């Protein structure tokens, strides 16, 4: 092979290498552009992000009631903004779609996707449910938040509600409530005998053991029942909400402390099927928004209760009274019996009871040298 032939062969080989390189580069480029399973899933999820979920939220509260009724409205509005309109929730007050005490079943069955209420209303489902709202002589709002979020309470709550196709969230707290409105003075335990009082949850059973007659009524029926004498007394929330309900025009004796509801957690709960149909980002928004509403309600009641109490006393002549020591002692004794009986209902109720009581004991020990010690110190300066 002469020199010219060798040069032609080399040239043909170089051209082949170039063509092969170009083909390989093109193949690699196309491979890089082809969607992987992960990117395809991301693209599918991105496309789904534009879907609008139109939900109904039904509540146990009168529509737009300050405090309690405002919370679900604020929750819906924040979720609408956070989701850029993708989660559009219409709120219905008690009685607009279903009765106040029918909310749990309606959401469980899918009549509405979401509800807002208080777990002690559903004590008939399982007595342990009430412990996720409040326990007489039990934890305050700060302690309840700690138990639910970091003490195992939320997992137990979701396990219990999961049996009813629901996913619960803490979504409000009024702080320590008032003992209630009475149409007569309470001077001893004898004054509780036969007393008909609107009081739900564990507190109602405790009152019954102490000789009273508990009556369960939704908020919208309380005023008329008290005014007409159907009941002799009622607890509701505290000065801010009670003033809005005009309860001072139906009874003049206002008692404290709120032994029955020291830190009542209000709840939002979602139909489990509706929850699982949401994309993860909307689920996360519900988690965050309910936490915000939980804190917001407690802040509002803390800010407004004392001014409302001043109005009740100074402008409406309400007589503020402290429950006598013997009444409190009798209620405490009955409470210990009633709460202990919850552990006997079933294994899950016992786990709820054990978790709550263990956390309460721990937090009481620490708060005795922190929160309580500071409060005592601050009061001693007056």
Could you report the per-residue pLDDT of 337-379, keeping only the tens digit for each?
Answer: 999 999 999 999 999 999 999 999 999 999 999 999 999 999 9
> Percentage of the chain with pLDDT > 70?
87
Cβ neighbours of residue 153 under 8 Å, at least 6 residues apart? 132, 144, 147, 355, 356, 359
Cβ neighbours of residue 365 under 8 Å, at least 6 residues apart? none
Residue 48 pLDDT class (50, 70, 90 cuts): low
pLDDT digits (tens, 9 = 90+) for 318-334: 999 999 999 999 999 99
Least confident of 8-12, 118-122, 191-195, 222-226: 8-12
Task: With beta carbons less than 8 A apart as the criterion, state whether 120 and 129 touch.
Answer: yes
Quick check: 10 pLDDT over 60? Answer: no
Q: Which of 255, 145, 243, 248 is nearest to 199 (CA)?
A: 255
HEC secondary structure over 261-312 = CCCCEEEEEEEHHHHHHCCHHHHHHHHHHHHHHHHHHHHHHHHHHHHHHHHH
- Tokens encoding 241: 């909400």
Is residue 244 classed exposed, middle or buried when 0-12, 13-18 and 19+ CB atoms within 10 A define those classes?
Answer: middle
Backbone angles phi, psi at 269, to 5 degrees: -135, 145
Of 3.90.550.10, 3.40.50.150, 3.30.70.580, 3.40.190.170, which CATH number belongs to 51-176+264-301? 3.40.190.170
Which pLDDT does position 361 carry in this prediction?
98
- Tokens encoding 41: 């899933």
Which pLDDT does position 220 carry in this prediction?
92
Cis-peptide, bond into residue 257, ω within 30° of zero: yes
Cα 195 from chain centre: 31
Round the average pLDDT of the chain to a whole number and report it: 90
User: What whole-number distance in Å separates Cα of residue 258 and Cα of residue 296?
Assistant: 21
Which pLDDT does position 63 carry in this prediction?
92
Quick check: 97 pLDDT over 60? Answer: yes
pLDDT digits (tens, 9 = 90+) for 127-145: 999 999 999 999 999 999 9
Task: With beta carbons less than 8 A apart as the criterion, state whether 257 and 203 touch.
Answer: no
Q: Taking residues 51-58, report their average pLDDT.
A: 98
> Percentage of the chain with pLDDT > 90?
86
Quick check: 1 pLDDT over 70? Answer: no
Residue 50 pLDDT class (50, 70, 90 cuts): confident
* Higher per-residue pLDDT: 35 or 64: 64
Quick check: 270 pLDDT over 70? Answer: yes
Q: Over the Cα atoms of the chain, what is R_g?
A: 30
Query: Rounded to two decimals, what is the model's pTM?
Result: 0.86
Where in the chain are the domains? 51-176+264-301
Quick check: 268 pLDDT over 60? Answer: yes
Quick check: 12 pLDDT over 70? Answer: no
Residue 381 pLDDT class (50, 70, 90 cuts): confident
Quick check: 20 pLDDT over 50? Answer: no
Quick check: 46 pLDDT over 60? Answer: no
Quick check: 38 pLDDT over 50? Answer: no
User: What whole-number distance in Å separates Cα of residue 137 and Cα of residue 249?
Assistant: 29
Task: With beta carbons less than 8 A apart as the criterion, state whether 140 and 97 touch.
Answer: no
């Amino acid at each position: 092979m002469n020199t010219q032939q060798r040069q032609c062969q080399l040239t043909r080989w170089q051209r082949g290498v170039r063509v092969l390189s170009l083909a390989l580069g093109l193949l690699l480029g196309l491979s890089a552009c082809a969607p992987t399973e992960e990117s395809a899933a991301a693209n599918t999820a991105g496309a789904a992000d534009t879907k609008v979920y139109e939900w109904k939220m039904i509540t146990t509260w009168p529509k737009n009631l300050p405090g309690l009724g405002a919370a679900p409205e604020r929750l819906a509005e924040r979720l609408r903004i956070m989701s850029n309109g993708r989660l559009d929730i219409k709120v219905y007050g008690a009685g607009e779609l279903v009765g106040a005490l029918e909310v749990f079943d309606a959401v469980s069955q899918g009549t509405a996707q979401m509800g807002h209420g208080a777990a002690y209303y559903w004590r008939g489902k399982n007595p342990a449910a009430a412990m996720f709202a409040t326990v007489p002589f039990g934890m305050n709002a700060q302690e309840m938040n700690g138990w639910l979020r970091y003490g195992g309470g939320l997992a137990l709550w979701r396990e219990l509600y999961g049996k009813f196709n629901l996913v619960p969230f803490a979504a409000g707290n009024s702080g320590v409530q008032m003992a209630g409105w009475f149409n007569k003075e309470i001077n001893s335990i004898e004054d509780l005998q036969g007393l008909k009082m609107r009081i739900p949850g564990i507190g109602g059973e405790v009152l019954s053991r102490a000789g009273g007659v508990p009556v369960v009524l939704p908020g919208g029926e309380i005023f008329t029942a008290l005014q007409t004498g159907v009941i002799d007394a009622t607890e509701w929330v505290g000065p801010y909400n009670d003033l809005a309900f005009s309860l001072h025009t139906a009874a003049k004796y206002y008692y404290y402390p709120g032994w029955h509801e020291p830190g009542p957690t209000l709840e939002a709960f979602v139909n489990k099927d509706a929850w699982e149909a949401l994309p993860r980002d909307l689920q996360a928004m519900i988690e965050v928004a309910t936490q915000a509403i939980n804190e917001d309600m407690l802040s509002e009641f803390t800010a407004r209760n004392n001014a409302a109490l001043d109005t009740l006393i100074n402008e409406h002549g309400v007589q503020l009274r402290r429950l006598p020591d013997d009444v409190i002692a009798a209620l405490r004794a009955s409470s210990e019996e009633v709460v202990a009986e919850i552990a006997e209902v079933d294994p899950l109720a016992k786990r709820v009871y054990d978790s709550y009581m263990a956390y309460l004991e721990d937090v009481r020990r620490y708060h005795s040298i922190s929160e309580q010690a500071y409060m005592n110190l601050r009061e001693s300066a007056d």
